[in-house]
Each structure stands twice: as C-alpha cells, then as structure tokens.
Amino acid sequence: MTSQPSIIAPYGAWTSTISAERVAAGAVPMSALMLGGADGGDIFWLAGRAAEAGRNTLLRYHGVTTQELTPAPFNVRARVHEYGGGAYAVDGETVYFTHFKDNCVYRMAAGEAPVQVTQAGPQRFADFAVDRARNRLIAVRELHGDGEHAQPINTICAITLDGGAETVLVDGADFYSSPRVSPDGRSLAWLSWDHPRMPWQGTTLWLADFNDDGTLAAPVRIAGGADESICQPEWSPDNLLHFVSDRSGWWNLYRLCRDRQRTEGLCPMEAEFATPHWTFGNSMYGFRSASEIICTYIDKGVSRLARLLPGSGKLECIANPYEEIRELRVANGYIAMLAGGPTIPMELARIDFTEEGVEILAQSIEDLPDEANLSIPTSISYASNGRTAHAFYYPPCNKDVQAAAGSKPPVIVIGHGGPTGMTVNTLNLKTQYWTSRGFGVLDVNYGGSTGFGRAYRDLLKGQWGIVDVEDCVNGAKALVERGLADGDRLIIRGSSAGGLTTLCALTFHDVFKAGASYYGVSDLKGLDQDSHKFESHYNEYLIAPKAQADAVYAQRSPINHTDKLSRPMIFFQGLDDKVVPPQQSEMMVAALKKRSIPVEYVPLEGEGHGFRKAENIIRTLEAELDFYQRIFGLNHA
C-alpha cells in the first residue's frame, strides 16, 4: 500500500530532495558517440565536466572498463559555426581531436599523451574523416579573419598527419559539412549550402573521385538544393552512398544507385530519420552489413529503433526502453546509443544482436531520485489558432508533500531554443527540480519544431515571435481549461530563441504573470548585427527578407514595446556569449527598471551561449526559484 504524503503545503513551496547542487552535479552531458579500437569493439564518447568549467573529456569503454583518455586541461570541443560538434575522430587505436582553447588538432595513440598536429592560427576544425590511403584527415575548416566584421571562410580541407600541412579540397560555398570518404578510398561525399539558407532549409549533396595527387575531380551534384534538406551522408560497406532527404516532406532514407545516375527511397513514411544540423557529427543510422541498416526515427515526437532491409524496404522495430535516441552507432555485432526516457536519464546503452536486453555502460545521472518523486510526462495536443500544437505536460510530484484539496498549481511553460529544435521527454533533473517543488511544467513543441515533418517545421517561416508564442499561450490556456493550472500563476521561461518566445509572450499577451529569460533575444535587428556567420541570415527565413526586415523587426522586437510589458522578469546572461550578446538582455533590464517593473539580472562571467559551470547552474536555478516564490508569495514547506 502506498503511504500518503505527510505534509500539506502550497503548490510551488514544497521541500524537495532534488537540490540545485544535485542538478548541477548529477547531469553529465554526453555526446559525440563513436566506435573504434583494434577490432571496432570499443565505444568512445564525450562527457562534460561541470566541476571543471564545463570541460569536455573523451571516454572509452573497453571490455568491462571505462577509461578517461584526455587529461585536463584538454577540452575536446570544436568551435566551427560556434555550436561545434564533430570534435574528434577515431581510427583504430588512434584518436584525433580539436582542443577548444587553441583550436589545434591533436593526435593521441593508445596509452600516449596527445601530440599537436596543426599549428595555432585563425583556423578552426570540425567533422573529421580519416583518409587512410593518403595518411591525412579531411575536415571542415573555418578560417577567421582579423577584421571585426570579416566573415569566416569555410572550406573542406585535408590535413597531413606527418606535419599538419593544410590543403583546401573544396571551396566556394558559404558552408560545408559531413565529408565522408568511401570505404574503398576512391571517393569523397560532402554537403554544402549558402546564405541565406540554414541547413534544414536547403543543402546539396556532392560526390567526387580522388585524383592521384589527392585532389578532387569535378564534383557531381547527387541530391538537394534550395528547398531540399540533405542530412548525414554515409557509405555502406559495399560503397553505396546513403543519405537522408526531406524531399517528401519528411526526412527519409535514400541511397545513390550503383550506376550513380539516380537515387531511390528506402522506406517512405511520415517520420523523421534526421534532426536539424545545429552541430556536426549527428548520427541516426548505421550499417550492420551491406544489406541491413539499423536506424532510429522520430514518430510524433518520440524516437523508435528499427532494422531496415534496403532491398525490400521492410522496417522491423527493435524492442528497447527508450523514447529519445539522440545518437546511434552500429558495429557488426552490436548497437551503441545515447538514449533516454521519462524515467531514464540520458545513458550510453549497448544492444547485442545475439542477446536480449540492454547493457547500460554509463549514465548522465548516477544518483537517481526516488522514482516516486519523478513526474512522468504526458504527451498532449491542443488547438492553437486553427492548427494543432504539441507538448509534454509534467504534473507536480513529490511523495512526501501534497497541496490543499481544490488548489491548482502554478505552471511553468517552456519554449525551447533553436527555434528549429525539439523538446523531448528524457528524464531531466532541471524539470524535476520544478515539479518536485509543486510546479507543473508544460514543455512545448511549438510550430517550427523538429519531429513532426517539414510542413510543421515551416510553420515558423516568417512567423518567429508569433506562432511559437501563440502555441505557448494556447498551451497554458488549455491547461487552465483542463483544470491542471492556476490561471493567476502562469510562468513562461526560455533560453536563446525560447527567450524571445518568453519576452514576446509577456509583451504582447496577458496570460503569463512572470517570466525568466536565459540569454534570450530581445532586439531582432541587434541580433542580425551581432550574430555570427552561421546564423547571420537566419532571420530572413524566420522574420522577413532584408528589404522588409526593419519594419517587421521594429514591430516584433520586445525591446521596442517595453511600455506593454508589466510582468516581473528575471534575466540570466553569459558575458562571453557570441550568439546572443549580453546587450540583448541588458537593454531589456534597463527598460524595465526605468518603468519600475520588478526585474532581476544575473550576469555570469566565463559563460557563453549555455551555462556549463556547476556553480552557475546552481546559482541560476536557486535565483529563479527564489524569484518566483517572492513574486507569488509562496512560503517554504
């Protein structure tokens, strides 16, 4: 028999064992899954060290042990496009990686210290491929100029391993990614795109053969263009080029036929076999053999794992306990995944093809809360201005505390970043921090989000600050109508693009009573002026073409309408942020102070776009909670 809670306390004032310290210490970021070792049986991944200023270290699982390969101060992190990713590659027992501090490439053989390969300079590298036949790496290179407003130059570059000499193989486009050498070493495939498109709007897949001197013959366009997004080109073991395209309206798998004259779809369906290219090195499928693909796809916001037989198009589900599969790598005998679920934190899992069950090799949270204190999300859909929006709703949950009968909880509505991103239902202690204190949480996949097809993603075209805001506003209203939220204590919070959603919701609507902006956008024109190359034209898609931009920016930027904002707010801002510079938050804070609106500002030294240091994660959570409790007059239980 389940015991009844012994404490009665107002929603939002519950005492919880899920402390800010536990959130900061317990959530280890895990990313960049790779396979390697002498027989391909080793699993590599990156783990974030919040206690070491957010340093990324490289780990290897070998046999039954896990080894840390990169000693401090090495930080395995790329800076291309500012968002990075693709920071290392594995070739047997040897690892190549880029160090965040100096942007240089290093080689590290088994049991040896890292050795510098490239010279320090204005160049950055990411998305490595090993070209064994020519004893070199092939990578995306981003060359930064000296002028304050000079745009970096992106190319695909070869780096010799016996001296670090750099040779440009492909240039002329604004952006490149995914250089992939064929198994026979004769060909290279890659992606490119140009301003003003982002890679989830339109990319081109290219293929070229190597000349005898290592240069490339004339490239051939395989797929893609201005209105077709290509992702993750990969070679099968028998030298057939595969890729993901959204030409049907959904990111589905295709391959280039052996005659190289046509492409064919492998398994057409209304599901997403890829995610937006915000970072390099994403992997959602791989080859068990030339005739069998192991893949993950997103169906209505939830990940599925499957076996695909390209010859017949047959797709067979593979049983597993996860609802988010973030990365996937495939070897002959097993699958390695970074995956999670509502009661499962992000973890490194191994599924052996010859055995049943899942072997857990590492978890992002080792000290898990009592499952009775975990809020289990429900996937909900609701009407929003003539369309359907999607979200995950987390009810308040604490086995030791309950609220007075008939009362309704305050609800925090979250607009995710991106804005072409996606919220998932993997166990996240930051969410549980709020629900265990008596807050409900609505995590919204507003129009524009990934995971629901291109048409849903394109709902945000020209509508950023409108559609996303409407879907958050209408989600909050839906909860009130369903009796799940107190309409007088509705909160909205968001980071980056979600910060703009937060600010617009509070400025142009009267539903939310307080808000929190984490490095949020307040001045769209300023974002254009200050943004880095990767996103410097993104607003032409999200807001308006440059000819009409100024008028729309003025109309839609919260900084120009502070007279309409009368709700208390708290702002958090990294002072080293290059994506959304500090002045975006500081201008908003100054405007609110001038009008005597309750406002707080928490600037963080040494933090960029996203907070990595444990002490700052703790500081921001505690400050945000204290702010809400003071605003709503909540007393601690």
Whether 407 has a pLDDT exceeding 60, the answer reads: yes
> What pTM did the predictor assign?
0.91
CB half-sphere exposure, 6, CA atoms < 13 A: 3
Nearest to 204 by CA among 218, 223, 220: 223
Distances (CA, A) of 412 to 345, 486, 515: 21, 11, 9
Q: Model confidence over 75-102: pLDDT tens digits?
A: 999 999 999 999 999 999 999 999 999 9
Mean pLDDT of the chain: 94
Name 596's bridge partners. none
Q: Model confidence over 311-365: pLDDT tens digits?
A: 899 999 999 999 999 999 999 899 999 999 999 999 999 999 988 889 999 999 8
**411 with 433: CB under 8 angstroms?**
no
Q: Model confidence over 554-598: pLDDT tens digits?
A: 999 998 998 998 999 999 999 998 878 899 899 899 999 999 999
Q: Model confidence over 214-241: pLDDT tens digits?
A: 999 999 999 999 999 999 999 999 999 9
Domains, the chain, in order of start with CATH, read 7-19+369-631 (3.40.50.1820), 28-172 (2.120.10.30), 184-282 (no CATH), 288-364 (no CATH)
Q: Give the single-character DSSP code of 560.
A: G
Whether 147 has a pLDDT exceeding 70, the answer reads: no
Q: How many C-beta atoms lie closer than 10 Å to residue 288's C-beta?
A: 18
In angstroms, how far is CA 393 from the centroid of its own chain? 20
Q: Model confidence over 251-266: pLDDT tens digits?
A: 999 999 999 999 999 9
Nearest to 329 by CA among 253, 232, 184, 200: 232
Q: What pLDDT, on a 0 to 100 scale, did the predictor assign at position 348? A: 97
Nearest to 253 by CA among 261, 264, 262: 264
Name 244's bridge partners. 231, 253
Name 65's bridge partners. 62
